[in-house]
Amino acid sequence: EPEVTQTPSHQVTQMGQEVILRCVPISNHLYFYWYRQILGQKVEFLVSFYNNEISEKSEIFDDQFSVERPDGSNFTLKIRSTKLEDSAMYFCASKANGGSYEQYFGPGTRLTVT
C-alpha cells in the first residue's frame, strides 16, 4: 500500500540553524501539507501546497518557513533560523486531488532545537 515517508525521523539542531525536513508524498497525489504537533498540544495546520504554489497557510507559517517541491517526488519544509519553540513533531500529508477528502499522513519528523 502506498504511504507517505519522511526523513529524518529525528533531527536535533541548534537555535539559529537552518533545517530542512523532507517528505515523499504518495505518488500521483497533487495536494501536499505540513502540520506540526508541539509536545502535549494539538496537531496544527501549517501550509498546503498545490500546483507548485502555496494554496493556504496558517498564521504559524511566517517568513521563517518555506516549502518547496524540488523534483517530482520530494516535498520539503525549510525553517531558516530555528527557535526553541520550533521543537515539535512535523507531519507531512498528501491528498490525491481537489475532489478527494482523504489526507494521508507520514510518520513524522521529531525536531529538537537546543
Partner 1 sequence: GEDVEQSLFLSVREGDSSVINCTYTDSSSTYLYWYKQEPGAGLQLLTYIFSNMDMKQDQRLTVLLNKKDKHLSLRIADTQTGDSAIYFCAEGSSSGSARQLTFGSGTQLTVLP
Task: State the residues that interact with partner 1 by CB under 8 A.
Answer: 4, 6, 31, 33, 35, 41-45, 48, 50, 55-56, 58, 91, 93, 95, 98-99, 101-108
CB 111, min distance to partner 1, A: 15
Q: CB-wise, 14 or 42, nearer to partner 1? A: 42
51 DSSP 8-state letter: T
Q: How far is the CB of 105 from partner 1 (least distance, A)?
A: 4
CA gap 105, 13 in Å, rounded? 24
CB of 109 to partner 1, least distance (A): 10
Q: Which is nearer to partner 1, 15 or 27 (CB)?
A: 27
Nearest Cα residue to 21 out of 6, 39, 35, 5: 6
Our CB check for partner 1 shows the closer of 14 and 39 to be: 39
Q: Please state the closest distance from residue 43 (CB atom) to partner 1, in A.
A: 4
Q: How far apart are CA 59 and CA 13, in angstroms?
A: 23
With CA atoms as reference, report the closest residue to 82 among 20, 22, 16: 16
Of the pair 58, 64, the CB lying nearest partner 1 is at 58
